[in-house]
Each structure stands twice: as structure tokens, then as C-alpha cells.
Structure 1
Amino acid sequence: MFSELAPDLFVLSEPLSFHGFEIGRNMVVVRLPDGDLFVNSPAGLTPDRVAALNDLGTVRYVTPSSKLHGHLHMEEYERAFPDAELFAAPGLDRRRADLAFDGLLGGSPDPRWADSVDQTAFLGHRWLTEIEFFHRPTGTLILGDVCYNLGPDAPLKTRLAARLFGMFGGVSVPLDLRYTVKNEAAARRSVERILAWDFERVVVGHGRVVERDAKRRVREAFEWLY
């Protein structure tokens, strides 16, 4: 159910259809040194998933990447794990007024997980701020929607569309995000902060985990900004 990518780092991949195209989605779980679990982009819960998470540790922090990515099932974690703390990405507290958030995510890591997980904000977009995370012990960058990695394992319809939009076979920035960046200087500064991290692996919100040449591939994905 949860694949262990490295010690204390787990991913759950599941299908996701977006406008008729199967792009998949990845949920990331980081086990902190005290056994608490940091959950990013939470997937829907089933009894088996609840049991699997309890086997990994104590679900403590539940985070989205943005007001669009990774928030749809947060209420399930609130019910299943009464001690869990929910965090809002910029704008999500207004969009999900039904949830009682315990904190707001920003461009600096929250002290509750800062010893293991760093974070920054991707800025410059017209209407969306995404929070990016970095798990220091495993050198893993955790992204939401700013990069996809769609490859030959994707369904034919998705592969064809990815080729058409220049997003097939490698780490790539979706065209809709490229065209809606309003402040390229702010976006470049955001990318430079991300590239300053010493990461060797990338877990994207949609697509395959990147295990080789991760920093080079992310840098190349953002060459259009320079």
C-alpha cells in the first residue's frame, strides 16, 4: 500500500482522472524522529489505509501543497486521527471554511517539523501559491502541481496529450502554469530557493517519482523562466 522510498519516507500512488486524462496522484508520508507522521497531499482513507498509517507511526501533521492540491480528504484525517493537526496552504482557509486548521503554511518551515522538513513557497503565479517541501535526511524534494513526470506507464490517451503539450518523458511544468505566471522574477527566486536544496529525489504530485539526476531535471524544467 505504502512504498518505502527511503528510511522514514513513504509514498502512496493512486489513480486520478483530470478532464478525462489519467495523471495519477502521490501522497507522501514522512516519519519524523519522534515517530510522528508528516502527511502531504493526503489520499482518501479506507480501513486498510488507516491501519497502515498507524503501523508507520502517529499521524500528526496533515498538509496540502496549495489551495487546489492535496486538501480534498483532510476532513477524513480529522475524524480518523483526533490528535492530527491540519494545516492550510495560502487561500485554503477561506476555501475550506468547514475545516478548523491548526496552522497556516508559508515560506519558512513550521517549527513542529523544521528539524527534518524544510519548506518554501512558489511565488509569482496569478492566483496560486504552492508550498514545496524538502526532507533533509533522504534528500527528497516534494512538489505539488508545479511539475509533472508523465512517462510510458501512463495510459495512451494521457501519453498522447503529454507529447502534444511537451510534457512527456521527463519532469515538466504544465503549460497552464507557465502561461499564468505574472511575476517571472518572483518565480525565478522561488526556483532558486528550491535548487539550493541538496535533493537527489523528487516526488511530484502527478507522475513517477524521480530517482536519478533530480536536480538537473528540475532545473531544466524551469529553463523557460530564464
Structure 2
Amino acid sequence: MLTQRGDRFWTYEESLRFFGVELGRIMSVMKLSSGGLFVQSPAELTPELKATLDDLGEVRFVAPASKLHGHLYMEQYRAAYPNAELLAAPGLPARRSDLRFDHLLGDTPDPRWGTDIDQVAVVGHRWLTEIAYFHRPSRTLILGDVGFHIGERSPLKTRLVARALRIYQRIGPPIEFRLTIENEDSFRRSIRDVLAWDFDRVVPGHGEILETGGKRAVLEGYDWLFE
């Protein structure tokens, strides 16, 4: 149900089809020093998943990557965990007016999770700001749509589309995202902030988890930004 990847860090992978292409999506679960759980990009809260989470600890925070990525099923976590706080990426409160959010995410982590998790607001895109996360105990970088990683284990159709979008066996955003970056200097500074973290593992928004060598892979995936 959950796969432990490192110190107090687990992932859960589920299917996601977009225009007929299987992309997959990944939920990350981090156990904080306080004992509570920080859930990023929540998956559908099935009875089996809830039981597994409950065995790990109390869900305290539920966070997305952006207004487009990782907000599905948040209402299920609100219903199941009334004391949990829902965190919003920029633009998400307007998109999910059906939800009450407790905190708006930005560059500065809240002290309640900041000991374990750092964050950066990746800015400069025309219409999307994404929150990248770094889990210190497991040295894991967690991305959303700025970090696809489609590999050879993906279905043939997915691999073909990934080649066209320039995300096959590379960590980074699809070509259409790159073409709609409005302020490249700001976007570059955000990615430099991400690269300043001491991460080794990378959990992408879609695709295959990279267990080691993550910093070099991100740098190579963003070579177009640093030319």
C-alpha cells in the first residue's frame, strides 16, 4: 500500500490517465518530528489507504503541489481527519472554492513542519506557481508538474508522447510548460533554490521515482534553462 523510501518517508503510486495517456501520480507521506503526518499530493482515500496511514500516525497536514496538481481528494481527507489542516498552493483557493484552506503556501515553511520539510515557490510561469518540497531526513526532493520523469517502464504510448514533450528519461516540465514561462530569470532563480538543497532521491509529479543521483538528474533535465 505504502512503500517506505527512506527515513520517515513513504510513497503511494496510483494510475492517472490524461487524454488517454497513462501518466501515473505519486503521493508522498512524511512523518514529522512531532509525530504527525504531512501528506503531499493526496491519493484517493480508500479504506485500505486510510488504515495504513492510521498505522503510521495522525494526518496533520495535507498539501498540493499547485492549483492543478495534488489537490484531488482533499475533501476526503477533510472528512476523515477533521483536525488535519488543508494547505493551499497559490491560486488553489479560487479553483477549489468548495474547500476551506487553513494556510497558503509560499517560500517559507511553517515552523510546525519546517524542521523536517523545506519548500520553494517555483515562480515565473505565466499562470502556474508550484511548490517544491525537500524532506530533509530522507534527502528527498518532491515535485509536481515541473518534474515529470517518464522512463522505460512506462507504456509504449506514454513513452512516445514523453519523447515528443521532451520528458522521456529526463526530469523536468513538458515542452509546452517551458514555452509559457513568462519570467525566465525568476524561474531560473527558483530552480537554483531547489538545486541548493542536499537531495539525492527525486519523487516526480508523474512517472518513475529516481532513488539516487537526483541532483545531477535535475541539473541535466534543466540544462536548457542554464545554457
Aligned position for 2:15: 15
Q: Distance in 2 between matches of 1:79 and 1:72?
A: 14
| Counterpart-to-counterpart distance in 1, 2:58 and 2:116 | 16
Partner of 1:206: 206
Q: Which residue of 2 aligns with 1:65?
A: 65
Specify the SS of the correspondent of 1:66.
coil
Counterparts of 1:95 and 1:166 in 2: how far apart (Å)?
Answer: 29
Q: Which residue does the alignment assign to 2:6?
A: 6
**Preserved contact between residue 42 and residue 71 of structure 2 (Cα < 8 Å):** yes
Alignment partner, residue 184 of structure 1: 184
Q: CA deviation at 1:225?
A: 1.4
> How far apart, in 1, do the equivalents of 2:113 and 2:212 lie?
26
CA shift for structure 1 position 161: 1.4
Matched, 1:113 2:117: no
Which residue of the partner structure matches residue 172 of structure 1? Answer: 172
Secondary structure of 2:55 counterpart = helix
Question: Shift in Å at residue 97 of structure 1?
Answer: 1.1
Paired residues in the alignment total: 226
Match for residue 78 of structure 1? 78
The residue type paired with residue 162 of structure 1 is: A
Give the TM-score, by structure 2 length: 0.97
Corresponding residue for residue 43 of structure 1:
43
Deviation at 1:25?
0.3
Aligned to 2:152: 152
| Unmatched tracts of structure 1, length 5 or more | none
Instruction: Give the TM-score normalised by structure 1.
Output: 0.98
- AA aligned to 1:218 is V
User: Could you list the per-position Cα deviations for residues 117-168 of structure 1 after superposition, in whole angstroms to 9, with x for gaps in the alignment?
Assistant: 0001101000000001001111110101101111111111111111233221
Structure 2: any 5+ residue segments left out of the alignment? none
User: 1:63-122 CA deviation, whole Å, 9 max, x = no partner?
Assistant: 001000000110000001111100110010111111111110001111210000000110
Give the CA RMSD over aligned residues. 0.9
Code of the residue aligned with 2:70 in structure 1: it is: G
Percent pairwise identity:
54
2:138 partner letter:
T
Take 1:166 and 1:83, find their aligned partners in 2: how far apart are those partners?
A: 42
Aligned residues of 2:90 and 2:104 also touching (Cα < 8 A): yes
Q: Does 1:224 align with 2:221?
A: no
Structure 1 segments (4+ residues) deviating >3 Å: none
